């Protein structure tokens, strides 16, 4: 008989699939960060056409660069915000947007090609095939949503529509969380004492996604450039109702009233912070010393850190580095929330 300490662990056939999925999640994380930089540097409208194939190649001659610059000069953003922009400055914002689009194509290939390979080798169950095909479909939809977003800023506006930016970021976040959910579910785990914790974990995951969407509305409407005091807003803990509901019909305030846009982002941040702390306390009481309690504690710590980053970003009037850190760390919080929830389901 072979001693227990000499036994070779059985090979996990799904380990390569998990590695692939985590790699794709890493690429999406990078995509979100580059997208944030594109937004913060006002680069998102620098490419005024959607060319899925030929758009991979940037301008290669001075004449080609001048032609692209002329296209940019035709949109309101150039005329109203950057009428003195030089060709060199245009090239800088062009490459941010070009890099964002190319990375999107890379992610598409990074999903499609390994999916086909694993599928043909018989490494995927039927259920996994459907779930991963759904991920691929979400990626294709994201490309269409990206152009839908950009097109909103090419004629009547000097920026993309905030609600379209929110849809774009939220769809990327859902895809990111879904990939992590699938990857975590492929690894067998020890059963955890999850009584009363599952609902909290799923609720926190949904609330993190909601907050990311509201944050995109803040970014898209430039609401972070106003009310740069905290915990007050122009001296008020709660802004006057005539400021919060000045648009008619009332629902337009949610999307277009920068006072309410920032206030609702703050309120959901407070709620998320409070619920994450309560979930941590509950997990440590119901399952002391367990991995569930440790994850709940880590999630509460990440939410707290993100809240601090958000406050600093606001009070500094959204410098690029702080805005990027805030967006990137939101994805870290989302990843932890997805891992935690999946382990409890």
In the chain, where the domains are located: 13-188, 192-345
> Concatenated DSSP letters for 51-113?
-TTGGGSPP-SHHHHHHHHHHHHTSHHHHHH-TT--HHHHHHHHHHHHHHHHHHHHHHHHHHH
Residues in the chain, total:
345
Query: CA torsion sign, 281 to 282 to 287 to 291?
Result: negative
Would you call the peptide bond into 249 cis, given omega within 30 degrees of 0 as the criterion?
yes
Region class of 192: left (phi > 0), else alpha (psi between -120 and 50), else beta: beta
DSSP state for residue 122 in the 8-state scheme: T
CB 156 within 8 Å of CB 75: no
pLDDT tens across the length of the chain (345 residues): 555 555 445 577 788 999 999 999 999 999 999 999 999 999 999 999 988 888 899 999 999 999 999 999 999 999 999 999 999 999 999 999 999 999 999 999 999 999 999 999 999 999 999 999 999 999 999 999 999 999 999 988 999 999 999 999 999 999 999 999 999 999 876 666 667 899 999 999 999 999 999 999 999 999 999 999 999 998 999 999 989 999 989 889 999 999 999 999 999 999 999 999 999 999 999 888 889 999 999 999 999 999 999 999 999 999 999 999 999 999 999 999 999 999 997
Q: Is-contact 165 220, C-beta < 8 A?
A: yes
Q: What is the pTM of this model?
A: 0.93
Give φ, ψ of 233 to 5 degrees. Answer: -125, 105
Token representation of residue 35: 């997208």
- According to the model, what pLDDT value does residue 248 have? 85
Decide if 34 contacts 328 (C-beta within 8 A): no
Residue 345's pLDDT is: 78
Direct distance between the N- and C-terminal alpha carbons of the chain, in angstroms, rounded to an integer: 38
Per-residue pLDDT at 4: 52
Q: Which two tokens stand for residue 64?
A: 């080609």
**Rg, the chain, Cα only:** 23
Would you state the pLDDT for residue 58? 93
How many CA atoms are closer than 13 Å to the CA of 250, on its beta-carbon side? 3
């Amino acid at each position: 008989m072979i001693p227990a300490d000499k036994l070779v662990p059985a090979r996990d056939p799904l380990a390569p699939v998990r590695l692939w999925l985590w790699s794709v999640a890493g690429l999406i994380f990078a995509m979100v960060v580059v997208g944030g930089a594109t937004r913060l540097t006002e680069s998102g409208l620098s490419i005024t056409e959607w060319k899925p194939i030929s758009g991979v190649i940037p301008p290669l001659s001075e004449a080609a660069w001048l032609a692209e610059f002329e296209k940019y000069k035709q949109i309101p953003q150039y005329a109203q915000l950057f009428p003195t922009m030089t060709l060199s400055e245009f090239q800088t914002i062009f490459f941010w947007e070009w890099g964002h689009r190319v990375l999107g194509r890379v992610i598409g290939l990074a999903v499609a090609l390994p999916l086909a390979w694993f599928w043909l080798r018989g490494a995927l169950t039927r259920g996994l095939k459907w779930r991963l095909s759904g991920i691929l479909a979400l990626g294709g939809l994201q490309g269409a949503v990206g152009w839908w977003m950009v097109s909103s800023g090419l004629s009547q506006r000097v920026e993309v529509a905030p609600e379209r930016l929110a849809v774009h970021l939220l769809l990327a976040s859902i895809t990111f969380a879904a990939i992590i959910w699938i990857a975590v579910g492929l690894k067998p785990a020890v059963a955890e004492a999850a009584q009363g914790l599952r609902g909290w974990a799923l609720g926190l995951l949904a609330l993190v996604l909601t907050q990311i969407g509201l944050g995109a509305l803040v970014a898209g409407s430039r609401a972070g450039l106003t009310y740069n005091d905290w915990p007050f807003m122009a001296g008020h803990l709660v802004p006057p109702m005539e400021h919060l509901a000045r648009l008619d019909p009332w629902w337009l305030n949610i999307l277009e009233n920068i006072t309410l846009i920032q206030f609702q982002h703050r309120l959901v941040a407070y709620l998320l912070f409070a619920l994450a702390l309560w979930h941590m306390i509950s997990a440590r009481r119901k399952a002391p010393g367990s991995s569930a309690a440790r994850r709940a504690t880590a999630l509460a710590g990440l939410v707290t850190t993100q809240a601090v980053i958000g406050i600093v970003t606001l009070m500094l009037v959204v410098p690029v580095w702080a805005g990027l850190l805030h967006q990137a760390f939101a994805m870290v919080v989302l990843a932890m929330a997805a891992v935690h929830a999946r382990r409890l389901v």
